[in-house]
Structure 1
Amino acid sequence: MSTITAKLLAAGIAMTFVTEAAATEWNVSVWGKRRAFTEHIHKLAELVEEKTGGEFTMNISYGGLSKNRENLDGISIGAFEMAQFCAGYHADKNRAITVLELPFLGVANLDEEVAVSHAVYAHPAVAEEMAQWNAKMVMTSPMPQYNLVGTGDPRDELSEFDGMRVRATGGLGKAFSAVGGVPTSVTSSEAYQAMESGVVDTVAFAQHAHLSFGTINQADWWTANLNPGTVNCPVVVNIDSYDGLSDAHRAAFDESVDEAIDHYLANYGSLLERWDSVLEEKGVQKVMISDDELAKFREVAGKPIHDAWLADMAAQGLPAQELYDLVFSTLEKQRMSN
């Protein structure tokens, strides 16, 4: 081999190593299928790839890497670099953020949901608890208030919730229990089958999930204004993977989060605008619950559950009152800024 050939070969090998060293490829674990709930993740991946000239890419896997209830475990062992999970799937692993799943917090829209979620995520107690799973909070997956779809006669009075079998997790499950409901925490992917087979009478979801998981196709009615609360589903990254990013890649990632959330909000807004036409198209009755019945629901399933959460979390050594107050002070601040 000539000296020139050897030098060219060595240069080629060196270039390969440089290219490989500069490239970052992350695996991202989500579930179900692409929908409004995951649009910010796709947007984040798109922005990061664009800003790094294709050097930083993300492979988004729908169920191929982990089950949805095991995503936080997968992050903790570095099985993948980024994932989405819902607090209610394993409340014992993410106790601090379950404040965001308390029923009847009064969050009125998605902008407020983003504000309160990100304020709580930034609290040191949350960062400390997530660090136990080698996880760092990135952004929320803001969802509107959950409402029920159900089969049979509409349930528009509190007394009719007694014995109602409902798919609901976290604080929502506690709220329905308080009024005599029987919650089951089957995963979102199993909700349609549970409804079809009669395991549950009703399913509590945000609008996109009723569409995505097909429960709207089993429904006879939908509660338009029950608004008992919502679930909180963060996107997290593995701390080691995040810390291992080059300065340029980390900057591209960090500065893309707000843009990804803005895209999510715009996309979800268009879904909410066409929701009434979806109900009409599928022949689903829109049920409005009276103010008196709503007041009864809040009295039974609001403050008592909040008080129990505060006592329980404080007993476990968490700054419960601080986290709880942060939700309401953030709501107030957000409304003043509007």
Structure 2
Amino acid sequence: MTRLAARLLTTAIAATFVTEAAATEWNASLWGKRRAFTEHVHKLAELVEQKTDGAFTINISYGGLSKNTENLDGISIGAFEMAQFCAGYHPDKNRAITVLELPFLGVSNLDEEVAVSHAIYDHPAVAEEMAQWNAQMLMTSPMPQYNIVGTGDPRDELAEFDGMRVRATGGLGRAFSAVGAVPTSVTSSEAYQAMESGVVDTVAFAQHAHLSFGTINQADWWTANLNPGTVNCPIVVNIDAYEALSDEERAALDSSVDEAIDHYLANYGELLQQWDSVLEEKGVQKVEIAEGELAKFREVAGDPIHAAWLEEMSAQGLPAQELYDLVFSTLESARAGN
């Protein structure tokens, strides 16, 4: 009986070891805290674990693995398997997707943002550039058009932007610069302190970020309709880690993307519905900018910046015109489908 018990115990231990050895565990590097901007990653992790009966899990870290501006570097060396980053943090590393951060592209809702982002992500030039960082695009983190919060008197005329210190990155920073503002690219986590200390007068964010990073608590006013553009923040995976997945695990991951995005959109939609009550609760004035002023902004910061981007990226050997045209053809198709 003793020998039998020993054999059974040995078998049980061996079975446990095999089960643990077969399990796949990924780490995902995000920043800040859980918010509308990261809900799709949480949903993805939940779905993957369900579909694989717990054999494939994704551990989500907020700042514990890397700085947000270094997530792509971490992916490149395999420090973690999944990460989120924003193109404007290091446009030289992800030039092709900066087309999505051009101001005044005309994207009008989150569904369109998903469509144009994923169309660009699927372009061979993007895949080739990301492969230099051992990264593969997985899904976008769609955000609505950015608007600014500020202190003091509302800035509702373009002339009042002259000299305005604004937290804005990427194409948004170039747009504000075109009308005389002074953009700074402090990270989202640093925006509140920059505003509180007077380093910046205004901060450009999507609604969730004004809430999550506290800038709405410093604000006297918010522009409801400036809508100069948005930033693009993909979720990427390490290529080696992705290719090491079993067929079942890879299918579980890939098949969960659309559902994770749908969850994100539904969650963000609820936030947008509550936004006016948030402004009222915090005593923030909602500022509507006159159409004539908006037209001036688009004239100065729209086509000229688009043309400059096309020239610069083409000179660097990217299929800039092809990427640019893909944005608008995708928008046309998305609207036709609706």
Q: Which residue of 1 aligns with 2:249?
A: 249
Q: Which residue of 2 aligns with 1:122?
A: 122
Percent identity reads: 85
User: Alpha-carbon deviation of 1:18?
Assistant: 1.8
- Residue aligned with 1:80, SS: coil
Q: Which residue of 2 aligns with 1:110?
A: 110
Structure 1, unaligned runs of 5 or more: none
Residues 1:64 and 2:59 are matched in the alignment = no
Q: In structure 1, what is the Cα distance between the partners aligned to 2:11 and 2:276? A: 63
User: Alpha-carbon deviation of 1:4?
Assistant: 3.4
Q: Which residue of 2 aligns with 1:150?
A: 150
- Residue aligned with 2:313, SS: helix
Q: In structure 2, what is the Cα distance between the partners aligned to 1:35 and 1:72? A: 21
User: Alpha-carbon deviation of 1:112?
Assistant: 0.1
Q: In structure 2, what is the Cα distance between the partners aligned to 1:244 and 1:271? A: 38
Q: Which residue of 2 aligns with 1:32?
A: 32
Residues 1:52 and 2:49 are matched in the alignment = no
User: Alpha-carbon deviation of 1:251?
Assistant: 0.7
User: Alpha-carbon deviation of 1:55?
Assistant: 1.1
Q: Which residue of 1 aligns with 2:138?
A: 138
Q: Which letter does structure 1 place at the counterpart of 2:296?
A: K
Q: In structure 1, what is the Cα distance between the partners aligned to 2:283 and 2:90? A: 35
Q: Which residue of 2 aligns with 1:300?
A: 300
Q: Which letter does structure 1 place at the counterpart of 2:241?
A: S
Q: Which residue of 1 aligns with 2:94?
A: 94
Q: Which letter does structure 1 place at the counterpart of 2:218?
A: Q
Q: Which residue of 1 aligns with 2:232?
A: 232
Q: In structure 2, what is the Cα distance between the partners aligned to 1:74 and 1:144? A: 28
> What is the correspondence of 1:14-25 to structure 2 with a 5 Å cutoff?
14-25=14-25
- Residue aligned with 1:204, SS: strand
Q: In structure 2, what is the Cα distance between the partners aligned to 1:13 and 1:246? A: 24
Q: 1:68-124: CA deviations, max 9, x gaps? A: 000000000000010000000000000000000000000000000000000000000
- Residue aligned with 2:133, SS: coil
Q: Which letter does structure 1 place at the counterpart of 2:224?
A: A
User: Alpha-carbon deviation of 1:7?
Assistant: 3.4
RMSD, aligned α-carbons:
1.1
Q: Which letter does structure 1 place at the counterpart of 2:61?
A: S
Q: In structure 1, what is the Cα distance between the partners aligned to 2:54 and 2:114? A: 29
User: Alpha-carbon deviation of 1:145?
Assistant: 0.1
Q: In structure 2, what is the Cα distance between the partners aligned to 1:168 and 1:288? A: 20
Q: Which residue of 2 aligns with 1:223?
A: 223
Q: In structure 1, what is the Cα distance between the partners aligned to 2:301 and 2:76? A: 34
Q: 1:29-64: CA deviations, max 9, x gaps? A: 000000000000000000111111111111100000
Q: Which residue of 1 aligns with 2:287?
A: 287
5-14 vs 305-314, greater mean Cα deviation: 5-14
Q: Which letter does structure 2 place at the counterpart of 1:150?
A: G
Q: Which letter does structure 1 place at the counterpart of 2:158?
A: L
Q: 1:187-210: CA deviations, max 9, x gaps? A: 000000000000000000000000
Q: Which letter does structure 2 place at the counterpart of 1:283?
A: G
> What is the correspondence of 1:127-206 to structure 2 with a 5 Å cutoff?
127-206=127-206
Structure 1 residue ranges, 4+ long, deviating more than 4 angstroms after superposition: none
Q: In structure 1, what is the Cα distance between the partners aligned to 2:135 and 2:8? A: 44
Q: 1:291-320: CA deviations, max 9, x gaps? A: 110000000000000000000000000000
Q: In structure 2, what is the Cα distance between the partners aligned to 1:270 and 1:194? A: 29
- Residue aligned with 1:274, SS: helix
Residues 1:11 and 2:5 are matched in the alignment = no
Q: Which residue of 2 aligns with 1:265?
A: 265
User: Alpha-carbon deviation of 1:2?
Assistant: 6.3
User: TM-score, normalised to structure 2's length?
Assistant: 0.98
Q: 1:146-204: CA deviations, max 9, x gaps? A: 00000111001111000000000000000000000000000000000000000000000
- Residue aligned with 2:11, SS: helix
Q: Which residue of 1 aligns with 2:277?
A: 277
User: TM-score, normalised to structure 1's length?
Assistant: 0.98
Q: In structure 2, what is the Cα distance between the partners aligned to 1:3 and 1:33? A: 53
